Amino acid sequence: MSNLAIDYDDVVAAHRRLEGIAHRTPVLRSTTADDLTGAALHFKAEHLQRIGAFKFRGGYNAISQFDAVQKAAGVIAFSSGNHAQAIALSARLHGIRAVIVMPEDAPAIKIAATRGYGAEVMLYNRYTQDREALGREIAEAEGLTLIPPFNHPHVMAGQGTAAKELFDDVGELDTLLVPLGGGGLLSGCATVARARYSHCRVIGVEPEAGNDAQRSLARGEIVSIATPRTIADGAQTQALGSLTFPVLRECVDDIVTVSDAELVHAMSFMAGRMKQLVEPTGCLAAAAALSGRVAIEGQRVGIILSGGNVDLNRFAELIQGAKE
């Protein structure tokens, strides 16, 4: 018996709950990308998911399992953006109240979108205030159920449905590259890979400025760091979760990092060559493949493009002068 927070059956159950509600996002191919890397790259396009990121999968899977009392009171989440939109939309689809605690420097597009889904937004300073303490306080006072962005079995299982669909569509892969913040997406995807294709190498990709996960796996315990400064705002986490870390330790083969410059290059490639608008964090896995940080020549490779929510002015600023 495994004592991990989720298993493959949990992902299959989540996939059933999401059927007809989440988009079945396409798998994109690019001859140019294949030629550049000498590999067969399969891009799972979660930037085309509802709310523009995979996080809808986990958020919806979590809220759909609320009991009547939880539904009557509502949900609260703290998030740097995409989880906020995921909870806001999932709450609206279930007809329940949502309170979202967001950093005041989150991209304007994400704050506006969260309000647009009908959620109540509370802003805080991410460098001076402890969002978890703040979130717990409000949750307790108002009887709301707190859904964390990654350290929750229903969230982890929901995120894994992205990899399930990818394998369902393209079959066996030699390597699966997954963006990594707190490890919700990677734990879900790795659980699927291990259950379906035990030889598939599963690699998490985190920003160079915040390689806490790489250090955590190397040391065998969760390493915490200060909020990293990187353009990958969806992966500015300080530590893996108590539930995600054990899954990663068991199911993930390696963690690699990419620099902000490599992310910008990948964003530029995605837009210029593949006509896809992918946010910096969404490019983590693609950047690892395109920059040669992982040996993939001759392989069939899965790449999760995890999100596309980037302010257009910010996008233009970032790719100014980037070499394609």
Ligand X SMILES: *Cc1c(COP(=O)(O)O)cnc(C)c1O
Give catalytic residue positions. Answer: 55, 80, 206, 210, 212, 306
CB of 305 to ligand X, least distance (A): 9
Stretch near ligand X under the rule CB under 6 A, chosen from 18-26, 28-36, 126-134, 277-285: 277-285
Which region holds residue 38: left if phi is over 0, alpha if psi is between -120 and 50, else beta? Answer: left
Q: Which CB contacts under 8 angstroms, 24+ apart, belong to 92-96?
A: 92/117, 92/118, 92/119, 93/21, 93/60, 94/63, 94/64, 94/66, 95/71, 96/63, 96/66, 96/71, 96/72
Rounded least distance, CB 184 to ligand X, Å: 3
Chain residue whose CB lies nearest ligand X = 307
Smallest distance from the beta carbon of 131 to ligand X, in angstroms? 14
Question: 110: closest CA among 160, 149, 166?
Answer: 149
Q: Does 106 bind ligand X (CB under 6 A)?
A: no
Residues of this chain, 251-270, that bind ligand X according to CB under 6 A = none
Give the Cα separation of 127 and 122 in Å (integer).
Answer: 16
In this structure, are residues 259 and 283 in contact, taking their beta carbons and an 8 Å threshold?
no
Residue 92 C-beta: closest distance to ligand X, Å: 19
Give the number of residues in contact with ligand X, rule: CB under 6 A: 22
- At 242, list the tokens: 């108590």
Residue 262: strand, helix, or coil: helix
CB of 207 to ligand X, least distance (A): 10
**Which range of residues in 16-24, 91-99, 184-192, 217-225 is near ligand X by CB under 6 A?**
184-192
Could you say which of 150, 167, 269, 315 contacts ligand X (CB under 6 A)?
150
User: Taking the CA of residue 133 as centre, how many other CA atoms within 13 Å lie in the half-sphere pointing to its CB?
Assistant: 6
165 within 8 A of 44, measured Cβ to Cβ: yes
**Which of 180, 200, 205, 263 lies at the binding interface for ligand X (CB under 6 A)?**
180
Q: Contact with ligand X (CB under 6 A): which of 144, 279, 287, 299?
A: 279
Residues 57 and 91 sit within 8 Å (Cβ to Cβ): no
What DSSP element (H or E) covers 55?
helix 55-63
Interface region with ligand X, contact rule CB under 6 A, candidates 115-123, 218-226, 231-239, 294-302? 231-239
For ligand X, the binding residue among 234, 251, 287, 293 (CB under 6 A) is 234
Nearer to ligand X, 161 or 306 (CB): 306
Which range of residues in 15-23, 131-139, 181-189, 262-270 is near ligand X by CB under 6 A?
181-189
Q: Which stretch binds ligand X (CB under 6 A): 7-15, 191-199, 248-256, 278-286?
A: 278-286
Of these, 183, 207, 210, 246, which contacts ligand X (CB under 6 A)?
183
Of the candidates 154, 307, 310, 318, which one interacts with ligand X according to CB under 6 A? 307
Question: How many angstroms separate the CA atoms of 196 and 8, rounded?
Answer: 9
CA gap 60, 18 in Å, rounded: 7
Residue choice 103, 158, 184, 210 for contact with ligand X (CB under 6 A)? 184
Question: How far apart, in whole angstroms, are the C-alpha atoms of residue 13 and residue 257?
Answer: 32
Going through 96-142 in order, the beta strands assigned E by DSSP cover 98-103, 120-124
Q: Which residues bind ligand X (CB under 6 A)?
A: 53, 55, 82, 149-150, 159, 179-186, 234-235, 237, 279, 281-282, 306-307
